[in-house]
Structure 1
Amino acid sequence: MRDRIYLSSPHMSGNELKYIEKVFESNYIAPLGEYVDKFEQSVKNYTGAKNALAVINATSAIHLALRVLGVGEGDDVLVSTFTFIGSVTPVLYQGANPVFIDSDKESWNMSAKLLNKYLLTCDKKPKALILTHLYGMSADIKKITEICKLHGVFLIEDAAESLGATYDSQHTGTFGDLGVYSFNGNKILTTSGGGILVSENKEYIKKAKYYATQAREDEIHYEHLEYGYNYRMSNVLAAIGVAQMEVLEERVNKKRKIFEWYKEFLADNDNIEFMSELDNSRGNRWLTALRLKNIDYHDVIEALNKINVESRPLWKPMHMQVLFKDSKSYLDGTSENIFANGICLASSTTMSKDDVKAICEVILCC
């Protein structure tokens, strides 16, 4: 049997071990060192973000963003309902209330139209919005940014899945007050586990860094006026990140090529609807996502597993989770409909065109 093909497996550049060896030679294993600075700088250089902070994962980065913006007990925070739970749990960490906004049919990301309607009619003004760029594809970020500014709502971009994606040639994650990228094991780049918080606002990142390092005051002894967290990335993981950032554009191009192969082999099939790309945007196509008509995605997942290929359903919307059964939502049914017949296909950058062809042959037989 073939080696298992995963949804999005790690793909090393070749320089990771060399940089890790330099870290070991320096003996700055953790918590910090020169490669943390280099990693942050590489993300700033690539995305155009003015300030960056390397942390242990994207969830911690969102948590820091909420803390920096003053979100606290009883505040409402708007969140994309069609997302991974890591986008939402930091709201609970702060004792705030998630309010879920549905998707649009064009991008599957948060609907700017529904967002605006909610803000025009809600009884309680939300403190912030956490917007997810789903599966590496840009949301209608310019409209959503304008809406947030109009209503005085802080915008946190959850670009965990969309490093390398752009809208009007500007990188996702750099439109809002703060943005977040993930370097988890299955993302387009990985540091094993890690995240980056970015912002145009230097003071936001300075404050986030303070909270991420146990809120220690600048004293020779350990002095604390506030509580913080142990959220900083280690020098070893940052060294992996530096090497990974060197090949980011290659990875984006390969992900997009894999998507084009899927389109080629599944062309003119009325039972297939791919996640679309908004005009003026470039997605990183982290995962190839599609909807199946007249085909049960469970059958496809089972059939692909038989040839040792991983696939999975789309994210189950957060408003459908038992954990959030009492949370407020503003919905029109779009995300539920997409979830009901949606699937993610293997998109590892080590895949060949023949791998994609074999996967498509299985889908067409279901």
Structure 2
Amino acid sequence: MFLLLDAPNLGGAEKAKLMECVDSTYVSTAGPFVPEFEQRFARYLGTEECVSVQSGTAALHIALAEAGVGPGDEVIVPAFSFAASVNPVLYTGATPVLVDVDPETWTLDPGLTEAAVTPRTRAILPVHLYGNLCDMDKLGRIAEERGLVIIEDATESLGGTWKGKPSGTLGNFGCFSFNGNKLITTGGGGMVVARDRERINHIRFLVNQARDASKGYFHPEMGYNYRMTNLEAALGLAQMERIDLFLEKKRTFARIYREVLAGLPEVEFQKELPGAQSAWWLPSFTLSGGVIAELQEKLREKGVPTRRLFSPLHTYPYLRDCCRFSYPEAERIFEQGINLPASTVNDEESTLRAAEIIRDAVHSMRR
């Protein structure tokens, strides 16, 4: 049995596109591959334009900056997420306000979010964790009523939808990642989309060091060196050819795990909301009984790679001042949770066998 947790799916098409880029000599940030990739990605999302950047973190940072978030402002962020969801808020000088997550979806709790809004709140940053979409109707209502900006962290949810609309297109800004473990990869890289065309054009200006090319090397405001390279974009173009296949495999793997493990009362999978269609970037579940480390070891011995969930953000020393509330759900999910192998290099037969091994391991651990 051959299984990978989250490795990229690369082959001949990627090699050919990279060689095309090398042969063209347009390997840096200027050249035809970057705009072609942006146009292709925008078509996939059904948006007019998007701007490529160096990472998902850069995407979140530039979106926050464009939204005017800065010192004195507060941004609501789920307590259960990767550090890159919160660090860009700190880059702007604003204060992240950590809020607990829903016990079933593991995403930002709308009720707790509304209670956390203060006169200083400028934005809500919902994270579609492990590809599973937040309740964007409720969060959108809160934002509209309170005059807040929504910056979607869609770095893990490419391909997911909320009531038929693609993740990343539901807020004022949407941010994607193309890290090596994501649905498609450019090696690194990310993308920003926005409702307002003027905003997206200004972001395009900012990521190129805010250079006014009509005046040579003149920079009327502070910018950032966040541009994607043509080498990265070339890889992304090849990956886009198979994005539907990759997404189908992710959802098939998630279904297999759920079907095989359905009879285990100790196992509880992350749940979709009505109206959401998750990308299931990494299928994940919690296992009651405080035995998740024991399960991981049993699976490792059988050749099934797994990963512990993200540590709750409120446990990080540098975020202590951002913790105004308690976070029982984030703590429980982390203590009991595990990510399952879902690389698109895997096949259905290996995934089925992995699910059976997990089922047998849980049975064997019953006291």
Pair in the same fold by TM > 0.5: yes
Give the counterpart of 1:75 among 65, 73, 76: 73
Equivalent residue number for residue 118 of structure 1:
116
**Residue identity in the other structure for 1:33:** G
Correspondence for 1:87 among 65, 80, 85: 85
Note the C-alpha offset of 1:13.
Answer: 5.7
Give the structure-2-normalised TM-score.
0.94
CA distance in 2 between partners of 1:148 and 1:30 (Å)? 39
Amino acid in the other structure paired with 1:72 = G
Which residue of structure 2 aligns with residue 279 of structure 1?
274
Aligned position for 2:97: 99
Deviations 1:50-69 (A, max 9, x none): 22001110100111011111
Which TM-score applies when normalising by structure 1?
Answer: 0.94
Q: Which runs of 5+ in 1 are unaligned?
A: none
Which moved further from structure 2: 316-325 or 173-182? 316-325
Structure 1 residues 215-364: aligned runs within 5 Å = 215-294=210-289, 296-331=291-326, 333-360=328-355, 361-362=357-358, 363-364=361-362
Aligned to 1:54: 52
Q: Which amino acid aligns with 2:198?
A: E
Question: Counterpart of 1:102 in structure 2: which amino acid?
Answer: D
TM-aligned CA distance change 1:32 to 1:330, over 3 Å: farther
Report how far residue 32 of structure 1 moved.
2.5
Superposed CA deviations along residues 264-322 of structure 1, whole A, max 9, x for unmatched, are: 22121111101111111111110011010125111122222223432111111111222
Q: Residue type matched to 1:195 in 2?
A: G
How far has the Cα of 1:250 moved from its partner?
1.0
Q: Kindly, what percent of the aligned residue pairs are identical?
A: 36
CA contact under 8 A between 2:66 and 2:203: conserved in structure 1? yes
Shift of 1:164: 0.1
2:72, 2:120 within 8 Å by CA — same for their partners in 1?
no
**In the aligned structure 2, how far is the partner of 1:330 from the partner of 1:171?**
32
Residue equivalent to 1:195: 190
3-state SS in 1 of match to 2:253:
helix
Q: Does the 8 Å CA contact 1:174/1:200 hold for their aligned counterparts?
A: yes
Q: Deviations over 1:19-50 (max 9, x none)?
A: 22222232111112211111111111111122
Deviation digits for residues 69-126 of structure 1 (CA, Å, limit 9, x no counterpart): 111122111111111001111111111111011111231100111112222xx3x331
Alignment of 1:126-141 (within 5 A): 126-141=121-136
Q: Hey, what's the Cα distance between the residues in 2 that align with 1:41 and 1:146? A: 31
Structure 1 pair 47–330 and aligned structure 2 pair: CA distance change class (3 A): farther
In the superposition, relative to structure 1, how do residues 155 and 186 fare at CA in structure 2: closer, same or farther (>3 Å)?
A: same
Q: Which runs of 5+ in 2 are unaligned?
A: none
Closer/same/farther in 2, CA of residues 128 and 273 from structure 1, 3 Å limit: same
Contact kept, 8 Å, 1:51 with 1:200, in 2: the verdict is no
- Amino acid across the alignment from 2:173: L
Letter in 1 for 2:28: A
The correspondence for 1:158, drawn from 149, 153, 160, is 153
Q: Give the number of aligned pairs.
A: 361
Distance (whole Å) between structure 2 residues aligned to residue 50 and residue 145 of structure 1: 22
1:183·1:194 contact (CA, 8 Å) conserved in 2? yes
Deviations 1:129-153 (A, max 9, x none): 1110000011101211121111011
Secondary structure of 2:231's counterpart equals helix
| Contact preservation (8 Å) 2:99, 2:327 | no
Change (3 A) 1:164 1:329: farther
Alpha-carbon separation, structure 2, partners of 1:353 and 1:15: 23
Matched, 1:38 2:33: no
- Cα distance in structure 1, aligned partners of 2:170 and 2:347: 35
The answer (yes or no) to whether the contact 2:290–2:335 under 8 Å persists in 1 is: no
1:169 is displaced (CA, Å) by 0.5
User: C-alpha distance in 2, partners of 1:156/1:262?
Assistant: 31
Report what 2:176 is aligned to: 181
One-letter amino acid of the counterpart of residue 287, structure 1: L
Correspondence for 2:4: 6
